[in-house]
Amino acid sequence: MEYLDRKLAQAEERNRLRTFLTTLLADQVSEEASAFHAFIGWARQRLEKMDTQLQLATIAAEVSGMNAFRPEGDVDSQER
C-alpha cells in the first residue's frame, strides 16, 4: 500500500503541475521577467521527470524488484 500511495501522490502532484503550466500564458510575460521564464523552464523539466517516473515501464521495473509482487514459485537469488 505504501508504494501505491506514493505513486498516487506523485501522479496527483504531476497532474497539478501540468494544470498549472497549461494555465500560464508565458508569451504574455514581459522579457524583463527572466526569473519567471527560468521558473517555467524548471517546472517543465520537473514535469518531464515526473512523467518518466510514472511511465508503465518505470513502474514495471520498480515492481519487478519487490518480493510482494513476484509470482509464486519464482526463484530468485535469495532462495539459492
* Interval 23-47: pLDDT, tens: 876 556 666 677 888 888 899 999 9
Could you give phi then psi for residue 27, rounded to 5 degrees?
-65, -25
Q: Full-prediction pTM beyond 0.85?
A: no
Higher pLDDT, 49 or 21: 49
E strand or H helix at 52, and its extent?
helix 34-53
CA end-to-end span of the chain, whole Å?
Answer: 28
Could you give phi then psi for residue 32, rounded to 5 degrees?
-70, -15
